Amino acid sequence: MGKSALRKEKWTLSFDPGLKNLVVKAAKRKGVYPVTMLENLVREKFNPYGHTDVEDSAEYVTAIRKRGRNQSDKEFLAEIETWQKSQSS
């Protein structure tokens, strides 16, 4: 296979400087590259019910519990119904 087939696509994104600094600081805390941090965030947003991509399970459970405190019972049931419909299709 030629080298051209093995090359990764390169993207250029424009970021707000404050947001960029926040992402870089968070990536340093976790000990990963900023690109990896952004890829994980995007993957999580596109797969909200997935658990296979979770790297830190304790942090993931803590975040879910915090989010659950702000959610009413009706919203929670609606989310479960949405999930069930997505699994049946």
Maximum C-alpha span of the chain: 56
**Tens digits of residue pLDDT in 19-54:** 888 889 999 999 999 988 888 888 777 776 666 667
The angle, 0 to 180 degrees and rounded to 10, between the axes of the packed helices 17-30 and 34-46 is 100
Cα–Cα distance for residue pair 41/37, rounded to 1 Å: 6
**Average pLDDT, stretch 76-89?**
81
DSSP string, 71-86: S-HHHHHHHHHHHHHH
Tokens of 12: 């250029």
- pTM for the model stands at 0.42
Q: What is the mean pLDDT of residues 44-71?
A: 76
